[in-house]
Structure 1
Amino acid sequence: MLKYIYSTLIGVILLSAAGCRKYVEIPPVNIKILKNTSDHQALLYNSTLLELSYSNPLYAADDLESDDIRWQTALSTVNANIYTWGEKIYSNTEEDADWQKLYEQLYTCNTVINGVLDSEGGSEAQKKTIQASALLHRAFIFHTLVNLYAKQYDANTAATDPGIPLVMGITFFNDLSRSSVAKVYEQIETDLNTALPALNNLPDFPTNASKVGAYGMLARVNLHKRNFAEAKRNAELALSLKSSLLNLGAITTHPTRNLHPENIFFKRVSSFPVALPMTASLESLFDTNDIRYTTYTAPASIFWQPTFTNRSYAKQRVIYDGINTGPSVPEMMLIKAECDARADNTAAAVATLNALRQNRFKPEHYVAFTASNSDQALRLVLDERRRELMGTGMRWFDQRRLSKDNGLMPTVTRVFKGTAISLTPNSNRYTFPIGDKYIQYNPEITQNPR
């Protein structure tokens, strides 16, 4: 698999206009492909590759659902398998685009991490900043992969739960046995903490690395580890560097990603469906005065040849340069609020929620949240995550981690072509299977139980 995946990147590394080849020779010994510091920086400016994250969680999460047989029939076989949490998703010959793209990105990051310090033409400070940038990108990749293809982090089992192949080098032939979930998380945190000192506080463009992006990832990582004190600390560090919000009640046009005040470390959904029919449970969470509801969702009738009747997520029709899945100001506020609620700091949690939500309503329509205890505050936070982060696929990762909380993640049931299918908390189906194609190439990669 390493040769199969990495070979598609050689064309990029060589900066070839001819595109990527399926299999290529290994470069001759003692010939440098990348010589200058600027060459390594150029690799990280390839946002077309590095900004991609995932797409499969959009179909798996409980934010998307339609009982309309027309919509269900229109699904591709792969998307239908994801939607129904199938035992198999891909055939023996099919690519898993999420797996493939993330490991392609990893090759680029490892190339920079392992080579830039020995490059020519740049200062030591520049080289360290470039390496730190690649470390942040790599941390995002590892965190995404381990949350797609391994069990949710659990302190009691993480040391033995199979994680992902933790590829750190750029050679074609490595042992691809799966490192433990604990070891993957340890490497993620090592990458982020190593990167921090050399990064600038803020990025020049939100697709590039910065301290605020590293703090944002540390907040997300610690939230998934249930280390809520550290998650809050890093969310606050991120917010100390960037805390700007977009007031939806005061704008007429929506800024692009490079000008959007809320973007911290921009990544985007790699393949977005034409329409995402919303579940009734998600739609019921919205006040109809919420501008996110009136602007970012729409009835099916606005879509060409609609194949469902329920309302759909429609932000992609307002903002055309991708749906952000990377750390953002709203996410940092929501992490801070959740951690406060879990620490019984009800007033602080609700205050943070109101600071966010008042930017999602016109002033005359906003009614502030109140909560009498931390349990109520936590429920408010989790509902707000569903509203604020809808359409990003992040709900799938929340479902996984909330399965560890008694009562916070119910069983999800869908009816697909007349058959009821259920997903229970902590089910093996919360972990995507690894494509059979990659296991055939590399038998040391063990399959996930289904």
Structure 2
Amino acid sequence: MKKISLFLIITAGVPLGCSPDYLDVKPSKSLVVPSQLQHFQALLDAAGVAMNQGPGIQALATDEFYHPDDNLKNLPFVPRNAYLWADDIFEGTGVADWEFPYKAIFNANIALDGLRKISPDAQTEELYQHIYGSALFYRAVSHFHLAQVFAAPYEPATAAVLPGIPIRLSMDVNQIVGRGSLKQTYDQIIADLTESEPMLPPQVTYINRPSGAAVKALLARVYLSMGDYEKAGLMASAALQIHDHLLDYNTLNPSAARPFPAPFSKANPEIIYHYGLTPYSPLVSSPLTGVDSVLYQSYQSNDLRKTCFFVSRPSGVYGFKGSYGGGASLYGGLVTDELYLIRAESYARSKKTDLALADLNTLLRSRFKKGSFETLKATDETILDLVLMERRKELFARGLRWSDLRRLNMEPAHQVTLMRIVNGKPLKLAPGDNRYVFPIPDNEIKLSGIEQNPR
């Protein structure tokens, strides 16, 4: 245990400082690399040191939150630049949104490289398979969420020519990895998840660990981002066959500062896989930070999401308090409500209106005050817009709005131009703008020489 603790301290400590030159620091040759199954499991369980955490900066760039001028000038420069869609967001600094996922990928590759050197016996075979499948999942989930921020949105016609993200498949940090194509990025993500699924149990006791349900739920999210709505619906349905629990919001205290239970309390039955977003506390904690007022007004008075998600602040704005993380940080985990909405969208796009409505009604019955919910109705022409609106309302501040804007902006009927008023001047982010792809951190460009994203 001393050896594995030393290993975890050394490897985990590198990205946490987020220094500009951390990538130039190579691990020592004397680094203790784990060699036993329990060591690999401990490495992957390090949820507090880069595992189970992904980019959150994209949430600052959407239309979910707004900052008045008085608040904006007090924000640290990275979240401020992200909010303003600046050309140079990171200003040469290290970026947790990039570093933490690649740290998780590094840990996953340590486990995979090490496991390949082990020949399990009959007693350890099951544990070996679980750990191996988990490492594949961690690598896939990190690559995927990096692609949502640092690579272009997926479009089949251009995916083979647009650059993806560096796909790291080895623990060798001296290996320079290019960006490859966007198609290669998604192909690898899907391949890792497909390989991992039969190795994992359908459900797990500890939600920081992946499961078969989590694999299917993540694949549903991946296919949705790719615009493959049929496969997204199939994967969502497969995940719901394993885990379809919903949290009854009538059991919550809407007046509480944090109405939702902590994820590891097991009091929220919706959570399939725990995944936090890089914390940008000014985004949600400032009394001046507001939420989209038009969206806020779209919730009915008997919709418990209105009081569980939002709070009226002394500044006169409505703020957000409803993180599924149970605290101030935003949450991006795999959760049952998202699956119902993915499947509903898949049905809606196939004109299976009755099935789409059934999923929406199942979800919303648990969101309204008891006895007050009125069953939704729609036609083939209106069902998709209804689903997309409920997706916005249900998945507020989950880090998914950015991906939704990117994919929906490819459809003329659903394009949105984002607007800000800053110091009396309008700022716009038009559909298809290059700024829908964040710049790759300068230190990574300097180290690897990979292509920078145009701004």
- TM-score w.r.t. length of structure 1: 0.90
State the 1:284 CA deviation. 2.7
**Taking structure 1 as reference, are residues 15 and 32 closer, same or farther at Cα in structure 2, changes over 3 Å only?**
closer
Q: Does structure 1 residue 441 correspond to structure 2 residue 454?
A: no
Give the 5 Å matches for 1:185-224. Answer: 185-224=186-225
Aligned to 2:18: none
Q: Does structure 1 residue 294 correspond to structure 2 residue 307?
A: yes
State the 1:44 CA deviation. 1.1
Structure 1, unaligned runs of 5 or more: 1-9, 302-307
CA contact (8 A) 2:302 2:368 kept: yes
CA distance in 2, matches of 1:199, 1:11: 24
Letter of the 1:134 counterpart: A
State the 1:255 CA deviation. 3.2
Q: Does structure 1 residue 390 correspond to structure 2 residue 368?
A: no
CA distance in 1, matches of 2:112, 2:12: 23
Letter of the 1:282 counterpart: L
Aligned to 1:4: none
Other structure's SS at 2:262 match: coil
Aligned to 2:270: 262
Q: Does structure 1 residue 114 correspond to structure 2 residue 107?
A: no
Q: Please identify, of 112-121 and 350-359, the stretch whose mean Cα deviation from structure 2 is larger.
A: 112-121
Q: Please identify, of 148-157 and 15-24, the stretch whose mean Cα deviation from structure 2 is larger.
A: 15-24
Aligned to 2:256: none
Q: Does structure 1 residue 80 correspond to structure 2 residue 63?
A: no
**Taking structure 1 as reference, are residues 69 and 251 closer, same or farther at Cα in structure 2, changes over 3 Å only?**
closer
Letter of the 2:56 counterpart: S
Aligned to 1:145: 146
Aligned to 1:105: 104
CA contact (8 A) 2:276 2:325 kept: no
Work out the percentage of aligned pairs sharing the same amino acid.
Answer: 28
**Taking structure 1 as reference, are residues 208 and 317 closer, same or farther at Cα in structure 2, changes over 3 Å only?**
closer
CA distance in 1, matches of 2:8, 2:175: 25
RMSD (CA atoms): 2.2
Aligned to 2:19: none
CA contact (8 A) 1:213 1:265 kept: yes
CA distance in 1, matches of 2:189, 2:11: 34
Q: Residue 339 of structure 1 is aligned with which of 335, 340, 346?
A: 346
CA distance in 2, matches of 1:364, 1:422: 43
State the 1:35 CA deviation. 1.6
- TM-score w.r.t. length of structure 2: 0.89
**Taking structure 1 as reference, are residues 349 and 18 closer, same or farther at Cα in structure 2, changes over 3 Å only?**
closer
Other structure's SS at 2:426 match: strand
Aligned to 2:407: 401
Letter of the 1:341 counterpart: A
CA distance in 2, matches of 1:442, 1:37: 33
CA contact (8 A) 1:110 1:168 kept: yes
CA contact (8 A) 1:35 1:120 kept: no
The count of residues paired between Structure 1 and Structure 2 equals: 429
Other structure's SS at 2:145 match: helix
Aligned to 2:161: 160
Letter of the 2:73 counterpart: T
State the 1:409 CA deviation. 2.3
Letter of the 1:357 counterpart: L
Q: Does structure 1 residue 352 correspond to structure 2 residue 359?
A: yes
CA contact (8 A) 1:112 1:134 kept: yes
State the 1:383 CA deviation. 1.0
Deviations along 1:395-449, whole A, 9 cap, x unmatched?
A: 1111111111112122111111222111111111110011122212221x11101
State the 1:323 CA deviation. 3.9
Q: Residue 277 of structure 1 is aligned with which of 284, 290, 294?
A: 290
Deviations along 1:290-336, whole A, 9 cap, x unmatched?
A: 111112201122xxxxxx53211112499238543122100000000
Structure 2, unaligned runs of 5 or more: 15-21, 254-258
**Taking structure 1 as reference, are residues 25 and 161 closer, same or farther at Cα in structure 2, changes over 3 Å only?**
closer
State the 1:163 CA deviation. 0.7
CA contact (8 A) 2:57 2:280 kept: no
Give the 5 Å matches for 1:14-53. Answer: 14-16=7-9, 20=13, 23=25, 25-27=27-29, 33-48=33-48, 49-53=50-54
Letter of the 1:297 counterpart: F
Letter of the 1:320 counterpart: G
CA distance in 2, matches of 1:91, 1:437: 10
Aligned to 2:335: 328
CA distance in 1, matches of 2:239, 2:323: 27
Give the 5 Å matches for 1:390-429. Answer: 390-429=396-435
CA distance in 2, matches of 1:324, 1:318: 5
Q: Does structure 1 residue 370 correspond to structure 2 residue 372?
A: no
CA distance in 1, matches of 2:176, 2:409: 32
CA distance in 1, matches of 2:100, 2:185: 19
Aligned to 2:17: none
CA distance in 1, matches of 2:301, 2:154: 36
